Homo-oligomer: A and B are copies of this chain.
Amino acid sequence: MAESVERLQQRVQELERELAQERNRRVPGSGEGGGGRVRIDKMSSEVVDSNPYSRLMALKRMGIVSDYEKIRTFAVAIVGVGGVGSVTAEMLTRCGIGKLLLFDYDKVELANMNRLFFQPHQAGLSKVQAAEHTLRNINPDVLFEVHNYNITTVENFQHFMDRISNGGLEEGKPVDLVLSCVDNFEARMTINTACNELGQTWMESGVSENAVSGHIQLIIPGESACFACAPPLVVAANIDEKTLKREGVCAASLPTTMGVVAGILVQNVLKFLLNFGTVSFYLGYNAMQDFFPTMSMKPNPQCDDRNCRKQQEEYKKKVAALPKQEVMQEEEEIIHEDNEWGIELVSEVSEEELKNSSGPVPDLPEGITVAYTIPKKQEDSVTEVTVEDSGESLEDLMAKMKNM
């Protein structure tokens, strides 16, 4: 068995080399559709039709971004290359991000054609492979690393953790940001587990199953609520929750909602990485009412995830070590964030409704409700769960954790 693995690894290396050679052999201006563009060593501000970066570099002249070229130094991992993830990847590619790591295990289907990005002729290809091909063609300056697997199995989880820790622009350095563009609870919890353990900042995104609401969320381990700290939130769309979640029923989706969510997600990424504007901790989108609530949540000191609690301790120490003025500024900023525009919202969530969901429930602005009800704990003791050497799938572990 060991030999077989070694041989296969050798074959993968061989094929990767061949593929790289084949791609290099392609003469610019030939190949698919007359073949893309040549690589560009340095981003230029020159205003000519042939410069793909002129409109981005203009952000400096407009006083929005002080150092746009810095975008090339960042590596971003995107988990889930579906309706939101594919558009997210395309936006970052067109912005000239340094490196993208894509994770997905799905295939392109005609049933995906109601969302942007994939095209009918790609049906049957793996999503990461099809995406890499299109994106490389759009911007050959971006480095791509794609993984066609499910991150929630134990083995893949280890590999995923390894790539988050070492897959940065310079091999051995961590990525700068992880973006969750997945469509299920388990995958989100897996990303949450990994990022809490690594202290890795990430952003979560989601679209409701009725296709008319979505959200993005920034999670800085120890500083803001993690995915396990509180039930994930959705923007209520004045629709009976029972019609939303039915097992085995095909979810609805719209290219509009997916496009808006990808847009506000990547905008938040750009603001975070390039240091401009206000980075949102939570931004919701209710398409029925054109309502966009913002808020921020503190982490839960009793969070189920021991690494989240550990990160909270470390964050507290970090804040305590800061000079007093900086701490005050930070707190002021958070208040500012919460109520940037002096918007007054009257909560319509009843006390009873809040009691029915377990765990700490934040004061929810009107129009936001919890997306999942987390099962009540049966005992109070907190058991530490580790994934190493357990031989169990993360799915099994997750099920255990839920029933604790």
User: Measured between alpha carbons, how far is A139 from B367 in the docked complex, in Å?
Assistant: 35
Once the chains bind, are B263 and A54 in contact (CB under 8 Å)? Answer: no
Q: A3-B153, A253-B55, A340-B289 are in contact. Are A116 and B137 (CB under 8 A)?
A: no
Does any Cβ of B come within 8 Å of A308's Cβ?
A: no
Q: How many residues of A contact B (CB 8 A)?
A: 123
Q: Taking the complex as formed, is A307 at the interface, i.e. its CB lies under 8 A from any CB of chain B?
A: no
By a CB distance below 8 angstroms, the chain B residues around A259 are 87, 91, 259-260, 262-263, 266
Evaluate contact between B55 and A251: CB separation under 8 angstroms: yes
A59 touches B252 (CB 8 A): yes
Residues in B whose Cβ lies below 8 Å from that of A138: 113, 119-120
Question: Is residue A321 within 8 Å, beta carbon to beta carbon, of the partner chain?
Answer: no
Residue in contact with A26 in the complex, picked from B26, B119, B212, CB distance below 8 Å: B26
Within 8 A of B (CB), among A342-380: 342-346, 366-367
Flag A11-42 by CB within 8 Å of B: 1 or 0 each. 11011111101110110001111111100000
Whether A270 is near chain B, meaning CB under 8 Å from some CB there, is yes
Inter-subunit contact B252/A58 (CB<8 Å): yes
Residue of B nearest to A115 (CB): B94
Of the listed stretches A189-197, A222-230, A273-281, A381-389, chain B binds A273-281
Name the residue of chain B whose CB is nearest to the CB of A155.
B3
Each complex incorporates copies of this chain amounting to 2
Most buried by B among A33, A113, A138, A290: A290
A95 touches B254 (CB 8 A): yes
List, in ascending order, chain B residues with CB within 8 A of A96's CB.
114
Map CB proximity to B onto A54-74 as digits: 1 under 8 Å, 0 otherwise. 111011011110000000000
Known: A23-B22, A290-B283, A290-B292. A114 touches B53 (CB 8 A): yes
Could you list some 22 contacts between A and B, CB below 8 A? A11-B148, A17-B125, A17-B129, A18-B19, A26-B30, A33-B33, A33-B121, A37-B120, A56-B254, A59-B252, A61-B250, A94-B113, A94-B114, A96-B114, A120-B137, A256-B270, A257-B263, A259-B260, A280-B290, A289-B341, A292-B292, A341-B367
User: A35-B120, A55-B251, A62-B244 are known contacts; what are 19 more A-B pairs with Cβ within 8 Å?
Assistant: A3-B153, A8-B12, A15-B15, A21-B133, A22-B23, A26-B30, A32-B121, A58-B252, A61-B250, A91-B255, A254-B270, A257-B267, A259-B260, A267-B287, A268-B290, A277-B288, A289-B341, A290-B340, A344-B344
**Which 9 residue pairs of A and B lie closest in terms of their CB atoms, listed nearest first?**
A35-B121, A260-B263, A15-B15, A8-B8, A58-B252, A33-B121, A277-B288, A259-B263, A49-B109
